[in-house]
Structure 1
Amino acid sequence: MLGKFKRSRHVDGDFLTCAIEDAVLDQIQKGLDPERVSDLISTAVPDVINELAPQLAAAMMKDKRTLRANKRIDRRFDRRLQKKWGKALDLYWVLHSVCAELGEKEARKKRESLAPAQEYTLESLTGLHVTACRVAGEVFTLLSHGHPRGAMARCRMLHETAVIACVIADAAADPDHHDLAERFLDHEIVGLRRDALQFQRDHATLGEEPLEQAYVDELEKRYAEVLLKYGQGFKRDYGWAKRFSPDDNLRKLEEKTSLSHVRPYYQWASSEVHCGARGLGQNFIEYRGLVLRDVGKVNVGLIDPAIMALNSLIQVTFSLAVSGAPEGPDVEVLLCMRAIEEMRSACSRAFADAQVEIDRTEERIVKRMQRKNPSR
């Protein structure tokens, strides 16, 4: 066996290599047969790695200087982004806040005389609106810090939320499908049971205790009840919509709610959720004549996720406050929705103006670079 390497040395990229080489050379000088060098290296590598890895980790964690430098870079980037996109982002947040407040007002209204089907509809749409507001807020945070692709990934969920909200709101006025909201809420048990069974299969590997059998038995009981009530097709992902749409999938629900035109954006957003080759192709960005791999923040491309997120949020808000309202919308709600439409137009223009200004600035910079270096 090679002796442990004791010589003091700074941790850098060649540390491990030098340690192994020095240790082997030391043994050769003591009479080691050179033919055994490769065998000794393969034997020594795990020991050297195990010895040096904690040192390297400790050095990285103590390196406050690099941490402070990276934080400064981040803060400077965020300031530059706010300078270019601040107006548009402010309008986004105002619109988001108005939608959230309108949804809160609808949820607070006293509605003692609602029929059960209307109560289910209100509960479903309120829950979907809460989800839409939260996710739209996440999109805002991602955009504010230069992560438009991450924001686009969240837009995927927002679109699904908008489609389901529109479906439930439309069905509320349809005598043949007035129980759709109840089906939607009852479908929760399908997901709960699926997740519980998966956890029971994998709990030992995860190092966790299994779920209590009484809880699992209760899930099985409730699951059997909903299948008896709604049929075997209810177990599918969109089984709650089986009667409303025999082809119970998101694409068909999009068609029924006239939202199928958003499908190209939805597919684009999906490539930022699923790890496929399509998503890898979006890791490149063109910057001043160069094609770079985008591994961090960017200050371009904010328009599409911002507008997609706001459109979905407004659709969910409309479903809750207007089309799905049990007693119909009042004048205040209609006025607010009209104001929201005006703000959406202003916000869209602000995002477009910001991108145009960035493009113009970049064109001027590239032209100056080309004059200084004509060969580029």
Structure 2
Amino acid sequence: MIKFDLESSFLEAVNNIAKEKKLNAEDVIGLIGNEKINKTLDEVAKVIDIKLEEDKDEYLKEHLLDVRSFEERLYLTWSKPLIRLEMIIVMCRELGSEIYKWHIANSCENIKLDVIAKLHAHSIQISCEILQLLKSGFADGAMARWRSLHECAVIARILSHGDEELAEKYEEHKYIDDYKFSKSYAEHSEVLLFEKLDDLSITSIKNKYDSLIKKYGESFSKENGWSYKLFNKKKISFYDLESFSGLDFLRPFYKFSSVRVHVNSKSVTYKLSLSLSYKHRNEEILLSGPSNEGLVDPLQCTSMSLIDTTKSLLSLNPNIDSLVSSKILSLWDDKLKSELIEASESLERKGSVK
């Protein structure tokens, strides 16, 4: 598609001149000079740019047809669990909406419900992102997004079992992050050619930060400082929160998803999206696009974490409806697991990416 070999053409021209002038290629390049070469390359780039601009729609037409064809094939294998997850997302969204409407209608001053409702809405949005990534064949990207979804589930569960003060601390901890971000922004804004923060904004952010430290103590300025009273330790990691919530059994998945977020040698050499290919092929595969492999973990983890966050929200309005809704979500999660096994075994039987 976009293919040219200017290097060979250039060297061929240089060698012809060298032969004619009875010089070596290096001398010819030296006579031409770097400035002239760069100007010539600029002109060549402009000519190719015009051609690419004219033909871009035609170039992309074939690519988009390939993408659509791939997604249709993927859907043939994974349609049941994908439909199941989408329905779970819709159910969780409607349940959350009903509780929040009730909260607003009754003018309840309930900071805990308000904060967890925000976490729940965020979880729905992340789940929708994950679903789209999975439909397009990006299991590794979906697993990376699940990392945030798991964090939502952990925090929502802790807050749902805590008091109003804990929820208020979590809500107000965003101002600590604002202060830290403002310092980083001020440090780099000039280099980035960004507009500088005005003195009034800086003072306002700093005053809010100082008032919260005065209110809650120096420990509040630390990462996860909102949860200090739960642990009474200086440094609180996400692993501490995870263990406290009872969701630490998902830690292997969280650690694996972190590999999909941060770049290291493992993240570039091992792909969830090639998990089946590793079994059937000996040669190295450099995956640079979608795959229909590896959907089991992100589908299963997304369902578990979204349902867990929804149950945390439902627990704040305990009634028959909430209890039955929680049980229905668990039933659908079980059905999803069965459909995942069926889809995975179907792909395994094929023995290769289709």
Q: Is the 8 A contact 1:271 1:279 kept in 2?
A: yes
Per the alignment, residue 164 of structure 1 pairs with: 155
Q: Is the 8 A contact 1:128 1:161 kept in 2?
A: yes
**1:132 and 1:251 mapped to 2: Cα distance?**
20
Per the alignment, residue 229 of structure 2 pairs with: 243
- Offset at residue 19 of structure 1 (A): 3.1
Name the CA shift for 1:18/1:41 in 2 (closer, same or farther; >3 Å): farther
Name the CA shift for 1:289/1:281 in 2 (closer, same or farther; >3 Å): closer
Per the alignment, residue 61 of structure 2 pairs with: 68
Aligned residues between the structures: 343
Match for residue 135 of structure 1 among 118, 126, 141:
126
Name the CA shift for 1:91/1:18 in 2 (closer, same or farther; >3 Å): same
**2:143 and 2:31 mapped to 1: Cα distance?**
52
**2:112 and 2:246 mapped to 1: Cα distance?**
20
* 1:163-242 equivalences in 2 (<5 Å): 163-172=154-163, 178-242=164-228
Per the alignment, residue 39 of structure 2 pairs with: 47
Name the CA shift for 1:309/1:34 in 2 (closer, same or farther; >3 Å): closer
Name the CA shift for 1:135/1:34 in 2 (closer, same or farther; >3 Å): closer
1:265 counterpart letter in structure 2? F
Per the alignment, residue 294 of structure 2 pairs with: 301
Per the alignment, residue 329 of structure 1 pairs with: 318
**1:169 and 1:35 mapped to 2: Cα distance?**
73
Q: Is the 8 A contact 1:81 1:144 kept in 2?
A: yes
Per the alignment, residue 374 of structure 1 pairs with: none
Name the CA shift for 1:42/1:289 in 2 (closer, same or farther; >3 Å): farther
Deviation string 1:315-341 (CA, Å, 9 cap, x unpaired) is 11111111xx1xx41101111111111
Deviation string 1:281-316 (CA, Å, 9 cap, x unpaired) is 214832653431221111111010011111111111
Could you tell me the TM-score, scaled by structure 1's length? Answer: 0.85
Match for residue 310 of structure 2 among 313, 317, 322:
317
Match for residue 289 of structure 1 among 270, 281, 294:
281
* 1:359-370 equivalences in 2 (<5 Å): 359-362=348-351
1:344 counterpart letter in structure 2? D
Q: Identity percentage over the alignment?
A: 24
**1:214 and 1:208 mapped to 2: Cα distance?**
17
Larger displacement relative to structure 2 (276-285 or 259-268): 276-285
Q: Is the 8 A contact 1:307 1:348 kept in 2?
A: yes
- Runs of at least 5 residues in structure 2 that lack an aligned partner in the other structure: none
- Offset at residue 51 of structure 1 (A): 2.2
Q: Is the 8 A contact 2:113 2:313 kept in 1?
A: yes
Name the CA shift for 1:167/1:42 in 2 (closer, same or farther; >3 Å): farther
**2:98 and 2:349 mapped to 1: Cα distance?**
43
Deviation string 1:255-304 (CA, Å, 9 cap, x unpaired) is 11111111100000000001111211214832653431221111111010
**1:216 and 1:35 mapped to 2: Cα distance?**
58
**1:143 and 1:211 mapped to 2: Cα distance?**
40
- Offset at residue 61 of structure 1 (A): 3.3
Q: CA RMSD in A?
A: 2.4
Q: Describe the SS at the equivalent of 1:109.
A: helix
Match for residue 74 of structure 2 among 71, 74, 81:
81
Larger Rg: 1
Q: Describe the SS at the equivalent of 1:243.
A: helix
**1:45 and 1:315 mapped to 2: Cα distance?**
62
Q: Describe the SS at the equivalent of 2:270.
A: helix
Q: Describe the SS at the equivalent of 1:211.
A: coil
**2:23 and 2:107 mapped to 1: Cα distance?**
93
- Offset at residue 98 of structure 1 (A): 0.4
Larger displacement relative to structure 2 (95-104 or 281-290): 281-290
Could you tell me the TM-score, scaled by structure 2's length? Answer: 0.89
Per the alignment, residue 27 of structure 2 pairs with: 36
**1:108 and 1:221 mapped to 2: Cα distance?**
34
**1:41 and 1:309 mapped to 2: Cα distance?**
61
**2:24 and 2:71 mapped to 1: Cα distance?**
60
Q: Is the 8 A contact 2:14 2:29 kept in 1?
A: no
Which structure has the highest helix share of the two?
A: 2
Deviation string 1:3-62 (CA, Å, 9 cap, x unpaired) is xxxxxxxx8432244135425644774687866234246625433332222333333333
Q: Is the 8 A contact 1:20 1:48 kept in 2?
A: no
Q: Is the 8 A contact 2:18 2:25 kept in 1?
A: no
2:157 counterpart letter in structure 1? C
* 1:330-345 equivalences in 2 (<5 Å): 330-345=319-334
Deviation string 1:103-149 (CA, Å, 9 cap, x unpaired) is 111111147575x5xx2111110110011000011110000110000
Deviation string 1:329-360 (CA, Å, 9 cap, x unpaired) is 11011111111111111111112111101111
Name the CA shift for 1:265/1:303 in 2 (closer, same or farther; >3 Å): same
Per the alignment, residue 256 of structure 1 pairs with: 244
Match for residue 263 of structure 2 among 275, 289, 296:
275
Q: Describe the SS at the equivalent of 1:76.
A: helix
**1:109 and 1:264 mapped to 2: Cα distance?**
38
Name the CA shift for 1:99/1:330 in 2 (closer, same or farther; >3 Å): same
**2:31 and 2:221 mapped to 1: Cα distance?**
59
